[in-house]
Structure 1
Amino acid sequence: MEKIIEYTELYLYNNALVSKECLCMGVLFHDTTTGERRFNSIKNFNRLKAFNDDIDVDFVKAYLAGIKDEVETDMFYLNSDFTTSNFIKSFVGEMRFSDIVSCKTNDDDFIEKTTKLLLKQDFARHERLSRDEEIKIVKNLVKSSACNYSQKSLDGLYGDTINFNFIVGQYCVKIFDFKNRESIKKSIASVKTWSYNAGEMKKGGKYKTVFLYSISENINEKEFEIVKNILLENTEHVMELKDGVRFLIQESGQECAI
């Protein structure tokens, strides 16, 4: 059965007034077809301390547990007028929800898989989605929210064929998986090729390139910076997978509204 599920991410900002630096603390899901509501939050609080070593972890744990109780406890299900937009609008300041994303899906594991994508670092390696699973859920999230999605091949400037992972509106998307230091070294030649392809798209003027990547927390930052700078040579859109999903959904939504 096809369902419509809304989700929104709860972010903690280091400084609500001036900083864009943030950490995803949890994801609120609302199945508007069945009425099911779920709030999945972080469990690895070492990441929270690394993000802000002054924060009161016990307070945050209690705060997140309070949100979960309010969203999921049976008593609150008596409120048949629940809407995600009304629930999240009272969250302001350093901890607040993102814009709501609405997706159509037939996948019974949609909530679990999307949680593993958006809170990836909270899961042990053996629990995480595979690269193919990540790409599939990214495609499904974007496709269900976009008005102009395709997987067609594009022509290069010299009559060659360029195959991105997918295209949404004016954006052609290529996804990289940097598992470890060795994979970064091996990817240099491929990264240079794709940066060149992005240059061709730029010259053609019809498409903009978006490079998305998943990355291990144990990679060498200097070596990754080299790769990132190569990718940035011909596009300004280089971002982590979970951030790219939201960017593409927002951009495609704007195109649909025009």
Structure 2
Amino acid sequence: MATGTEPHPNDGGVRGRTRAAIADRHLRTDRWWLAPAATVAGLLAFVVYSTWRAFANGDYYAAPYVSPFYSPCLSENCVPMEGGPNAALVGGWWTLSPALVILILPLGFRLTCYYYRKAYYRGFWASPPACAVAEPHRKYSGESRFPLILQNSHRYFFYAAVAVAAVLTYDALLTFRNADYEWGHMGLGTVVFLVNTVLIWAYTLSCHSCRHIVGGRLRHFSKHPVRYRMWGWVSRLNARHMELAWASLVSVALCDLYVYLLATGVFTDPRFF
């Protein structure tokens, strides 16, 4: 008859033990801290740069290029942009830097993004710092309380991100002009804007919310062949969501930097034709 004191075959001979008695915080011997450290460095660099450019309120237009940080320009003091989405087109109502308004939309989209949550949760909050490494926090409430419950707004920021991507696409088309607004020209800036637009669209469409909107609620794919095919395309992009998140973050900063260098006269935009 079993007495209830026999050792369990998987507990090392001690009945009732649920965890191994390991004094170390973790057993990883690799440089696991490199990934969160690189994440912190990359995100901080972008935050510092974008904050400086947002409050600069200048050097954001060098015909025919307008910085993605400042488009569409909703401020009353926007510089004239012929044919561009500036105050003359949509109406000015903001007296401060226009970037402080327009950057709220892509910032909200990225801040609530599923990948970026993982990135800055690990990098800045150490929650957890890495796989198989315990976090220093005693309690964890998930995203069920304020302010993290606001992460559920990601699906709504997705629609705003689509609108921003559409505006950037329009801006990219306008780069096929020269400084005199004549069509049929192409410069190095055109390539920079086109690459940025493609990466912005790829990151936006690879979003988990987009994948759910396209085919997440379908019960029978066979009855919706078009949406099923679109869902397949988005799913393939979704597999590269992390890479696209970083690539688009770098490209939008480089695009703004390119316009800034042109506007400040550091160099002249090379024209191909």
TM-score (normalised: structure 2): 0.30
Between the two structures, name the one with larger relative contact order (CA 8 Å, sep ≥ 6): 2
Bigger Cα Rg: 2
TM-score, normalising length from structure 1?
Answer: 0.31
Which has the larger helix fraction? 2
